[in-house]
Amino acid sequence: MVRTRGLEDYAKEQGDIGVFLTLTAPGRMHARQSKTGEENPNFCHVTPRHVHDYLNTVWARTRAQWARDGIRCYGVRTVEPHHDGTPHWHLLLFVAPADRKAMLKTFRDYALQDSPSEKGAWLRRFTFKTIDPEKGSAVGYLAKYISKNIDGFKADGAPVEDYDFESSDTKLAKIHESAVRVGAWASSHGIRQFQFIGTTSVTVWRELRRLKADQVEEGLRAYVEAADASNWGDFVRLCGGPAAPRKDIPVCTHREARQNRYAEFVKVTKGITFRPTGEIVETRIHVWTVGSAKHGDMPSAARQAPRVAPWTRVNNCTGIAPSLAKTLSAEIILHQPPLPTLPPLTVPPGRFFPDWIGMLTNQASPPLTS
């Protein structure tokens, strides 16, 4: 909500307008009918994840065309299930007034690219509403859809298993139950419920919130103050706006290579880099390791032993390397049993057999007959 409000404040300063859009899938992707709840006879038996991938394809094609036309949008996207579990999208996008008509036409064309003559497609497949600042804010439009998925449950520390869904008839109880069900639906099908579009990286914002303004130099102080005050609009403005290329943003994450428990070198976030001055500020000063709770901080033979290559129970090799066999005892090395003798393959006379059987039996495949 903080980031959405910041984008709205930035859009007002730039003169951009907000548009609320809804994108749904064709009728054959819905398991049940919307009015009666009966089974859809035209259902093509796709999963919610497949429908979400289809909506992602429509979105990718739309963004590509916007980029070719020079249209720049930024905002946030939410995903919700219909009553039958079919996902649909809600998007809050900010765009320049001159690009609004072209943006909507392109999105509608790609949304109706599949089954455009379907009954009700032009009315329900793609809908939009231009936000009027005199009637309400963009955050108010989006708050309804966020609150249905994130309701603050367990904020008071009450465990989910102690909540009684049956005895309570209050509206709050129904909201809690709906949010739990939607969360289970999204987790089961691997669907990302919320995603920001075309805006500044939030990773830098989160790293800056670990600092105080007096810990950095003068040039970086404004960024820390904006992040510490939860002012996403000022932070986006300082970074050059949503349209700024990533390489031109003055603040970026500082990463260092580190070896993980599997002896692999991965890059981990250690702090931030202020590009104009080259200043590097570490925000993660602690290094966490997994230790033994039984021995505590006492040294053990395992900690003092030299590191060896990681082992895994998944091994495609058929034997053990000679250099490794010398370091292992004979009891550990399991001798590979000999391969069993296979009976000879027999092909019934007069029956056509595949080429791979002919190869094993040294026979030529019979010619095909009409």
DSSP secondary structure string for all residues of 40-71: PTT-----HHHHHHHHHHHHHHHHHHHHHHT-
Name the residues annotated as catalytic: 141, 145
Look at residue 149 and tell me whether its pLDDT is greater than 80: no
Residue 111 pLDDT grade (very low, low, confident, very high; cuts 50, 70, 90):
very high
Determine how many CB atoms are found less than 10 A away from the CB of residue 201: 15
Q: What percent of the chain has pLDDT over 70?
A: 72
Q: What is the pLDDT of residues 322-360, one digit of tens each?
A: 555 555 444 444 455 565 565 665 555 555 545 555 555
Determine how many CB atoms are found less than 10 A away from the CB of residue 254: 18
pTM: 0.71
The mean of the pLDDT values for the chain is 79
Q: What is the pLDDT of residues 112-146, one digit of tens each?
A: 998 888 888 888 899 999 888 888 788 887 887 77
Look at residue 233 and tell me whether its pLDDT is greater than 50: yes
Q: What pLDDT is attached to residue 92?
A: 93
Higher per-residue confidence, 55 vs 117: 55
Cβ–Cβ under 8 Å, residues 15 and 89: no
Q: What pLDDT is attached to residue 40?
A: 87
Q: What pLDDT is attached to residue 153?
A: 54
Look at residue 77 and tell me whether its pLDDT is greater than 90: yes
Cβ–Cβ under 8 Å, residues 236 and 199: yes
Higher per-residue confidence, 142 vs 296: 142
Look at residue 36 and tell me whether its pLDDT is greater than 90: no
CA–CA dist 230, 1 (Å, integer): 11
DSSP secondary structure string for all residues of 64-112: HHHHHHT---EEEEEEEE-TTS-EEEEEEEEE-GGGHHHHHHHHHHHHT
Q: What pLDDT is attached to residue 294?
A: 67
